[in-house]
Amino acid sequence: MDRGDEHIKSWLIRVTINECKDTVRKFWFKKVTCIDEIIVPIEDIQQRELIEVIFKLPKIYREIIYLYYYEGYKIDELSSILKRKEGTIKSQLKRGREMLKKKMGDDFYGEFQRV
């Protein structure tokens, strides 16, 4: 194999790798639903009020609260999914809870547990 063939081979490998990455990325974005578009059919009035308040939180806290309590992800899983440190996830979860407590009141907040 001469140098020209090696160059073509490495170029083809690089193009193939990039095309594979693009295909995976396109698939992911086609299958993802924005959290703002989720319609949650909740019968319980208190739970419905709670979810409405959650969806009014800033996006950063809304994502964490929803994924942790409603989708059941653990801290380490959220860290991997959102590409944030576990400490960051914990502090954002804490701040989100504090915002909920402030908006919902102490009585209702006590009932807020992982679904």
Q: For the segment 83-115, what is each residue's pLDDT rounded down to a tens digit?
A: 899 999 999 999 998 988 888 776 555 555 554
State whether 42 and 94 are in the same domain. yes
State whether 97 and 49 are in the same domain. yes
State whether 72 and 100 are in the same domain. yes
pLDDT at 23: 75
State whether 21 and 41 are in the same domain. no
Q: Which residues touch 6 (CB under 8 Å, ≥6 apart)?
A: none
Instruction: Retrieve residue 70's tokens.
Output: 């409603």
> For 83, phi and psi rounded to 5 degrees?
55, 50
Q: Which residues touch 68 (CB under 8 Å, ≥6 apart)?
A: 75, 78, 93, 114
State whether 54 and 107 are in the same domain. yes
The C-alpha atoms of residue 67 and residue 61 are separated, in whole angstroms, by 10
Query: Which of the 8 DSSP states describes residue 71?
Result: S
Question: Which range of residues forms the domain containing residue 65?
Answer: 36-115
State whether 8 and 48 are in the same domain. no
State whether 24 and 41 are in the same domain. no
State whether 25 and 80 are in the same domain. no
Q: For the segment 2-55, what is each residue's pLDDT rounded down to a tens digit?
A: 677 788 888 888 888 888 888 777 765 566 666 566 665 666 667 777 778 888
- Hey, how many other C-beta atoms are within 10 angstroms of the C-beta on 88? 15
State whether 90 and 69 are in the same domain. yes
State whether 64 and 109 are in the same domain. yes
State whether 72 and 94 are in the same domain. yes
State whether 11 and 50 are in the same domain. no
Provide the number of structural domains found in the chain: 2
Instruction: Retrieve residue 111's tokens.
Output: 């009932």
